[in-house]
A and B are shown apart, each in its own frame.
Chain A
């Protein structure tokens, strides 16, 4: 698709035009189409091919209107509203035009509505009833697409792991192809043949398996694209819907969950368009991830370890064990010998409940929500925490003229932002720079892709500062002040250190100084780094030097559905001072004892200074970047309680396992990365024995003598007070000292390993969603074609991946974008303990790889 004009010539103030539609005078912003103008005022114009987030194509011709002084019918989706236009949307000519279109479309459309999954929510069905005729003048046999080798006339073509195409039903509105290309930047779907046998199909030899492919099914106006998730399961009018938010992304994508009245079962998730967050697009992980709620593997009863084996038990039995054991530890060694880890995708009440349990019942500060990161800082106002607390708005990306994505493989961690970048690029001509240790998927829209040597992030940012100073783009005295605080001192050295050419750093620095509205964000590659504070310090320096937050936004993005909520509610071992004061006021007292983060708690467990541990929803055994370290800790515990939806590597070690209710089973609130509180409503009743996190913590507190709340509203009131506090930490008005830390490589271990989420999965929670498993169900190792050639490996071969502490055999997937000595491995699958390859004290984990001989 052609790149759109840059918005440079856009008028400063929004101008308006006034026109008459069906006798009503309406005023709309200049540049609106007649269709948008009409819809804005509640005048419905039927469409098939129009989509609010895509450029109009005028293909279906259903949206005809009659405009006075124009001889022909006009398509309102592509007609710009002009001053003084007189538009008729319901004249006889318009009605005849629409009828003709319906007649044309129905000519070859099978009338298989009774067996079509779209029946009941089909645009063609609805518009035929509204605007069509009840008889057809088409007296020929309808054209039938029959796939090679198929004998029936029923076209059932699987074009992707999830998507089934019926070309006979397709009305060629091209929405799927356009969305795939324009919005998602994917080319795995196209149009083939022409005229009345033109057809949608997967690109030759390819599958429609991009991480947004589910949207194609949702926007299909007819039943041409269906997915195995929803096919033949239920008729849409038998369902009931509940508004919800995505539990697998920090953006808090708005969703609608379809359940029913008969069985306690969920059927699908669709979008609930929110222009501020998701533009109506769902990542597949959001769309299909809900299936885990229906999984038959859900924990159904509490489990208690008896004689080394976990056996089923009742809640009362489990709580009795908890009372006894936690009570013993508390009485004998003190509450500070108890720690807790909670998952950052739990709702506010569950998170706050856990904090309150730890701090008021055990009077311990051993609690953390960041179970998936190594070497966490304790300081609540460390540079990284400052950067993470900065305000960030996804929708603000739309009209930026410059976006810099730093240390972020967007398509694997922030689907909404990934799509926003594409939107800004397509519609506003935004310049995009990606700065990563390897080429990422958004490289195709990046003006420049800076690939730095793994583990040299701070040198890249220092390089940008130095480039700005050398180019005279920054205030002289500020630049001099900065120079005394950073190393290296010259751009040349910085460039050599990080491996990014000087001129590229200059280009980025220059663009950064010229741009009028900037979005600059750091992603998971920074968050996961041992040196995250050093890198954040460099970024804060850059901000101070070039004034980024003053003309846009700069932040480190959080990854999980309620990370921001956890931060605001004080789920850190040491919350910020203001928060501590407020908590003290609410509870009457705040524990005055050492505060230990995940790492520190594990170390203390090893030293047997922490004896009891509570894990809610988290799975450190699978996800903490050093499996041995966590295992050595958790195994040494006197008493471990783990709550989860499933049996996991962590619950396996637990003395008591409690079944957790999923986010779809109770009403919960989540704070997305922008700081907005959103509600996920109850889409189904909880499994009979599963309980939400806040109830579990309350029960534990209850058996230990002091329930957390009598009535739920008490808890909510306290949460509300905390959420009202301002959580933005001001950027410091001094430069931080940033000296790049280099890490010596061990002999033979040359290839940098990044372990992250697959673009179709989210931590340990989505493995059991059948639809997502259709895309990827096994771990793999992704590497560049050059590296593959070097080791004489082909797609699908198995290779041995060996770090200093472990080795794992993984199948190879040759990447179409990585081009350096970096390998990626997803962490979402239980079949291979990939985090055992990692060492928590390492900055960059390096491995050696070798081909497994047959």
Chain B
């Protein structure tokens, strides 16, 4: 228990602001302990649910809140829970997706390390809503500290009777398993995650059947992101209407954004949905402007798999619809900022290297396409680019986009396509001059 991730959060703001709830206590060094968590009103929602709410009431409350999945796809959480077949004789499972590995994203990690009971409480409520008696949390294998904290929190929750048999005398049983990932980005994709829990190779499955109908061990299974589940106790405590009053019309509530890249103050910031991206980057309370007062070159707004935004596009609300309108996505809420000294070819090479390395190898376009793309982009970066390479990259991207089993293929090519769209001349320059258009390259320390 020596390492404590030093990520900056806006917990101080959250403590003052009633609208913010996820980060209220994350800077309290004892929040991970059950006594502190309970003193802060923890497990109140779980007791309320056990005290007489029906599963349907819980689901309805979450539906009313308008909570949408925080893992990237933004699917309405309550609606997902409703997909579990009511008449299935099989057991149901809940898997909390804590395989946070989208480059730039580090929000779930903070929640698990600093407020693990919030996650457990949310999981418990969700389990009750779907009629599950065994819940899993699948934690990214590299998150050693999160795993320790979650296991310890789980033990405490069992000891205090929040989990286990006949919880609070209600007759409801709930067991929990902390499952460690094996180090693959793809296991954050829900069906690959299920395969991995089953002990199979982490490769995505075709859908249908959807996990809600046939998931873990072919039983109805709900897979929810850590942040989504952590929001659930607050929805139960304050009511779905309260949650729905936050955010924008279609994107409700608050969201944690992981701000990184060339900003002065990178960190995790919980803000209401619809928060202005420009403000996020430049406001002293958040990013506090670009490193070295350089000019902004571009922003990836939702994790490495979302298309770039250019400086003229950043005056935009951080919510699902607004970003979609301008051709990008909210994704997991990882905002990566690049300033003018960034070479776009170099950046894309780093990204495609990641996706090539993480492609599971199941479907042809992603498996062969990412490898081929990396080879072409590498030769451009190294000064060996051929005329026509940019068009070829664009065409290969088109052959991958929308043609793969899981979103990894799309994730790999969307930033590339947008980088070509926005900075085509830089690619061409690279090919023609065998060197970078950006002369003063940014050095990472």
Q: Which of B208, B356, B365, B399 contacts A80 (CB 8 A)?
A: B208
B365 engages A78 (CB within 8 Å): no
A73 at the interface (CB under 8 A from B): yes
Specify which of B218, B358, B372, B402 is in contact with A107 (CB 8 Å cutoff).
Answer: B372
Tell me which of B359, B368, B392, B405 contacts A104 (CB under 8 A): B368
What are the residues of chain B within 8 A of A137 when measuring CB–CB?
392
Q: Are B375 and A140 in contact (CB under 8 A)?
A: yes
In the assembled complex, the Cα of A97 lies from the Cα of B399 at a distance in Å of 7
Contact of B218 with A4 in the complex, beta carbons under 8 Å: yes
| A174: B residues at CB distance < 8 A | 362
Are B206 and A101 within 8 A (Cβ)? no
Chain A's closest residue to B208 (CB) is A80
For A190, list chain B residues within 8 Å (CB): 201
Chain A residues near B184 (CB-CB < 8 A) = 194
Q: Give per-residue flags for A70-82: 1 if the beta carbon is below 8 A from chain B beta carbons, else 0.
A: 0111010010100
User: Is A649 part of the binding interface, using a Cβ–Cβ cutoff of 8 Å?
Assistant: no
B368/A108 in contact, CB under 8 A: yes
Asked if A195 contacts B208 (CB within 8 A), the reply is no
Contact with A along B25-43 (1 / 0, CB 8 A): 0000000000000000000
CA distance in complex: A73, B409 (Å): 14
Judge if B435 is at the interface, Cβ distance under 8 Å: no
**Given A58-B405, A107-B372, A195-B371, A100–B206 Cβ distance below 8 Å?**
no
A104 touches B364 (CB 8 A): yes
Given contacts A73-B402, A191-B201, A57 and B362 within 8 Å (CB-CB): yes
> Which bucket holds chain B's interface residue count?
35 or more
Chain B, Cβ-Cβ closest to A108: B368
Nearest chain-B residue to A60 (Cβ)?
Answer: B364
Which A residues, 368 to 408, have Cβ-Cβ distances below 8 Å to chain B? none
Q: Are B363 and A2 in contact (CB under 8 A)?
A: no
Mind listing 6 A-B residue pairs with CB under 8 Å?
A57-B206, A107-B368, A172-B361, A191-B203, A191-B361, A198-B361
* Distance between B270 CB and nearest chain A CB, rounded to angstroms: 34
Beta-carbon nearest neighbor of A80 in chain B: B208
Q: Roughly how many angstroms separate A75 CA and B405 CA in the complex, as a whole number?
A: 9
A73 to B364 Cα, complex, angstroms: 14
CB-CB < 8 A to A101: which residues of B?
Answer: 364-365
Q: Point out the residues of chain A lying under 8 angstroms from B363, CB to CB.
A: 58-61
| Shortest distance from the beta carbon of A504 to any chain B beta carbon, whole Å | 23
Residues of A within 8 A of B370 (CB): 195-196
Query: Contacts of A171 on B, CB cut-off 8 Å?
Result: 364
Docked CA distance A108–B356 (Å): 15
Contact with B along A173-203 (1 / 0, CB 8 A): 0100000000000000011011111100000
* B218 A194 Cβ-Cβ under 8 A: no
Residues of B with C-beta under 8 A to A61: 363-365, 403-404
Are A5 and B361 touching (Cβ within 8 A)?
no
> Could you tell me the distance in whole angstroms from the C-beta of B139 to the nearest C-beta in chain A?
20
A193–B356 alpha-carbon span in the complex (Å): 12
A736 CB-CB contact with B under 8 Å: no
B303 nearest CB across to chain A (Å): 20
B250 contacts A by Cβ under 8 Å: no
> Is the CB–CB distance between B206 and A78 below 8 Å?
yes
Please report the C-alpha to C-alpha distance between residue A61 and residue B203 in the assembled complex, in whole angstroms: 15
Question: Is A104 in contact with B369, judged by CB distance below 8 angstroms?
Answer: yes
Total of A-B residue pairs, C-beta within 8 Å: 107
| Total chain A interface residues with beta-carbon distance under 8 A | 45
Whether the pair A72, B361 counts as a contact (CB closer than 8 A) is no
Contacts of A194 in B (CB 8 A): 184, 186, 357-361
Interface membership of B367, Cβ < 8 A = yes
- Does residue A105 face the partner (Cβ distance < 8 Å to B)? yes
Residues of chain B within 8 A of A100, CB atoms compared:
365, 399, 403
Given contacts A2-B217, A3-B217, A104-B368, A193 and B403 within 8 Å (CB-CB): no
A62 neighbours in B (Cβ, 8 Å): 364
Complex CA gap A426/B333 in Å reads 40
Chain A: which residue is nearest B205 at the CB level?
A: A57
Contact of A58 among B206, B214, B356, B359 (CB under 8 A): B206
Q: How far is the CA of A73 from the CA of B363 in the complex (A)?
A: 14
Say yes or no: B357 contacts A195, CB within 8 Å.
yes
Interface assignment of A138: CB less than 8 Å from any CB of chain B: yes
Q: Are B362 and A59 in contact (CB under 8 A)?
A: yes
Instruction: Provide the bound-state CA to CA distance between A78 and B362, in Å.
Output: 15
B198 within 8 A of A: yes
Question: Closest approach, in angstroms, between the C-beta of B399 and any C-beta of chain A?
Answer: 4
In whole angstroms, what is the CA distance A194 to B408 when docked? Answer: 13
| Minimum CB–CB distance for B138 against chain A, Å | 16
A residues in contact with B208, CB < 8 Å = 80
* Chain B, Cβ-Cβ closest to A48: B364
0/1 string, A1-40, CB within 8 A of B gives 1: 1111100100000000000000000000000000000000
Chain B residues within an 8 Å CB radius of A3: 217-218
The verdict on A243 contacting chain B, using a C-beta distance below 8 Å, is: no
